[in-house]
Amino acid sequence: MTPAVLFWSLAAAQIMLVAAMGCYAYRVVRGPRAQDRVLCLDALYVCAMLLALTVGIRTGSGVYFEAALIIAILGFASSVALAKFLMRGEVIE
Amino acid sequence: MSHAYDLPLWAAVLTALLVLIGAGLTLAGAIGTLRFKSFYERVHAPTLGTSWGTGAMVLASIVFFSALGTRAMVHEVLIAIFITVTTPVTLMLLARAALYRDRTEGSGDVPTKSDVRRSARSDATRVRGGTD
């Protein structure tokens, strides 16, 4: 009973997260302007991080937690760099 | 899922609920970005996933690994703190960049700088109640 509850809820959550990533990917590809693309890229990496957490719960290993932490940190840096690029036209002045 | 056989039922149900809440909120935010019309509306939608979407998922991970007893489990709080601190910074930078781009192009319905200054000045006069 216990593994079945976890298995199906994790499967549903992963499907929902992948659907969310699909929505964001659509905006990244079709987004009318550059700021829409950057915004949805930012949200896309958060979804990927949540997906890594669900995989960590599914496999029961702690490796995925570190992967999620690294994704969160690097995603923040890249989003700030892209936002700065939109503002100034260059990243490092 | 063989590791989950040692898990008590309450922990499994709590984990399942939290995981579903987190993923559902994230999906709602993603659909929001598809449905809103302008960028300034769209910038609000993904925060659903970065606030309680991440929060619920992190709580689920904490409950699961603590109940399983494989490791002592507050590492995940790091992720929650980090996402909570960085998301507003990113989105504010992005919204300012978008405002700047819209202003320099002179496009859309964004208020110009002189509009903002004028309304701030009239607010100040109203607060002081003066006529200067």
Q: Give the pLDDT confidence of A19-77 residue by residue, as tens digits.
A: 999 999 999 998 788 889 999 999 999 999 999 999 998 888 888 888 999 999 999 99
Using a CB–CB cutoff of 8 Å, tell me whether A57 touches chain B.
yes
ipTM: 0.88
The C-alpha atoms of residue A59 and residue B98 are separated, in whole angstroms, by: 41
Q: Cβ distance A34 to A25 under 8 Å?
A: no
List pLDDT tens digits, range B76-132.
Answer: 888 889 999 999 999 999 998 888 888 887 776 777 777 777 777 777 777 666 555
**Cβ count within 10 A of residue B122:** 10
The reported pTM is: 0.84
The C-alpha atoms of residue A59 and residue A56 are separated, in whole angstroms, by: 5
Please name the amino acid found at residue A80. Answer: V
Residue B9 has its nearest CB partner, among A1, A38, A39, at: A1
Sequence spans of domains, chain B: 2-128
> Which among B110, B114, B55 has a CA at the least distance from the CA of A33?
B110
Kindly list the residues from chain A whose CB atom is less than 8 angstroms away from the CB atom of residue B42: 27, 36, 39
pLDDT at A81 over 80: yes
List pLDDT tens digits, range B29-72.
Answer: 999 999 988 888 889 999 988 889 999 999 999 888 888 876 66
Contact B90 A58 (CB under 8 A): no
- Expressed in angstroms, the distance from the first to the final Cα of chain A is 59
Q: Cβ distance A79 to A71 under 8 Å?
A: no
> Which among B105, B31, B85, B51 has a CA at the least distance from the CA of A40?
B31
Contact B94 A35 (CB under 8 A): yes
Q: In this structure, what token pair is assigned to residue A12?
A: 């549903």
Q: How far is B15 from chain A (nearest CA, A)?
A: 7
Q: What is the pLDDT, as a whole number, of residue B106?
A: 75
Nearest-5° Cα angle at B9, B3 to B13: 100
